[in-house]
Structure 1
Amino acid sequence: MGWKKLNTDGSVLGSVRQAGCGGVVRDEQGNWIVGFTRHIGTTNCFAVVLWGLRDGLSLCLSLNIPCLVVKVDAKAVVDILRNYNYDNIIISPIMDDCRQLVSCFQQIQIKHCYRQAN
């Protein structure tokens, strides 16, 4: 069983601040396995990316995927997941969820990619 790939992203709609996220899981050859979307409600860009990451990681665990490459286009999210000293009272619950989910995989790589590649 090879590595699977998860791409996630989130978006906030301008002044109304309505947010949503989604992602796609693909196999080793790039073939689509499953996708997901979620309406979040009112939040900011940083939080909505974490929501998408959490949903994607949960989905991959439910599919019993042991080895995962995750790509997100928010470098700040990648950086905070690597920095366990980072703390933010507003986003800590969802950030902690993401960190806990990451620890459930046998092997995982979380990488930044540019928006055009995501």
Structure 2
Amino acid sequence: MLLQGAMCDTKGNWILGFNRFLGVCSVLEVKLWGIFEGLSLLLKQGFDRVLICTDCLEAV
């Protein structure tokens, strides 16, 4: 499974993106990894306020 993510500001402008090969895993695992990777990258960039949007209710 390939994980891809993109982070945008409040105006919809692209900030950064990522991709990562996860191998065999469930859809829920992919969603959780996406949230984790996105938060990790944003924290490293110095962001301290983040809004997470996902289509997976189980991940929330």
The count of residues paired between Structure 1 and Structure 2 equals 60
* 2:44 matches 1:62: yes
Q: 5+ unaligned residues in a row in structure 1: which ranges? A: 1-18, 79-118
* 2:50 matches 1:72: no
Show the counterpart of 1:91. Answer: none
Q: Match of 1:57, SS?
A: helix
Relative to the length of structure 1, the TM-score reads: 0.49
Q: Match of 2:51, SS?
A: strand
Query: 1:11-45, CA deviations, whole angstroms, 9 ceiling, x for partnerless residues?
Result: xxxxxxxx121211111211001111111001111
Q: 5+ unaligned residues in a row in structure 2: which ranges? A: none
Q: Match of 1:42, SS?
A: coil
2:59 maps to amino acid: V
Relative to the length of structure 2, the TM-score reads: 0.91
Distance (Å, rounded) in 1 between the aligned partners of 2:2 and 2:33: 9
Q: Match of 1:22, SS?
A: strand
Q: Match of 1:28, SS?
A: coil
Map 1:1-118 → 2, pairs under 5 A = 19-78=1-60
